[in-house]
Amino acid sequence: MGSGSRNARGYEFGRTYVVRPKGKHQATLVWLHGLGDNGSSSSQLMESLHLPNIKWICPTAPTRPVSSLGGFTCTAWFDVGEISEDGHDDMEGLDESASHIANLLCSEPADIKVGIGGFSMGAAISLYSATCYALGRYGTGHSYPINLRAVVGLSGWLPGWKSIRNKIECSYEAARRASSLPIIVTHGIADDVVPYRFGEKSAQSLGMAGFRQTVFKPYQGLGHYTVPKEMDEVVHWLTTRLGLEGSR
């Protein structure tokens, strides 16, 4: 466990929890919790999955006022108002969290595959990180340091999904990186917190922007939470995409 770093606006990232691999270490993934949650509950969820080759790093977001909650403070990766097609995105908050997460992966050995996953607002940061990886830079223009190999987004959305295609199409390198990155996006059709259409639209936007290995999985009757069937699919997808040995 580690304590957090402070970002430019003085919000401090909370505690980071690590789940060690039970088998041969082949991959390291950062898992990002949803609004108001913490890294401890992420680590419990990840511990319950049958993925012995993955080391999980589960950070805790800073505690900050959140516009959609009328300024109420809770753990949040960035400030969010109403999610909409052209909603104003807190780019500063997105970049600060994406950078904090990239720093957590920077010291992994070269032969270890790295990825990012998350739920809800954590999924938004995961998908935003995917776009930073493809573009080679954060929204601020600073270079993105991580070679991502897998991205998972459950019940979330991609901030800035309307403009991503134009940005990727401008650069051969960005298009190449986008096409090589496996992404899985899942969403419950009955989600009443982050409406289903935002997950679907985000996955479509990624696909149209050149993220050709984007898989979208809708779940009938699922609200804003995860279910074992969905997590089993994520486990299978990660095992296949990252070439994990399992417990052989």
Contact criterion met (CB below 8 Å) for 157 and 192: no
What pLDDT, on a 0 to 100 scale, did the predictor assign at position 188?
97
What pLDDT, on a 0 to 100 scale, did the predictor assign at position 248?
55
What pLDDT, on a 0 to 100 scale, did the predictor assign at position 145?
95
Specify the residue for token string 């957090």.
Answer: 4
Q: What is the DSSP letter of 241?
A: H
Per-residue pLDDT for the chain (248 aa), expressed as one digit of tens each? Answer: 554 555 556 689 999 999 999 999 999 999 999 999 999 999 999 999 989 999 999 999 999 999 888 888 999 999 988 776 655 678 899 999 999 999 999 999 999 999 999 999 999 999 999 999 999 999 889 999 999 999 999 999 999 888 888 889 889 999 999 999 999 999 999 999 999 999 999 999 999 999 999 999 999 999 999 999 999 999 999 999 999 987 65
The closest of 3, 31, 19 to 129, measured between CA atoms, is: 31
What pLDDT, on a 0 to 100 scale, did the predictor assign at position 91?
86
How far is CA 52 from each of CA 27, 208, 239, 246, rounded to the nearest angstrom?
Answer: 10, 34, 10, 6
Structure tokens at 183: 């992404």
Residues 6+ apart with CB under 8 A from 222: 187, 188, 189, 190, 191, 230
Q: How far apart are CA 94 and CA 116, in angstroms?
A: 14
Q: How far apart are CA 115 and CA 112, in angstroms?
A: 10
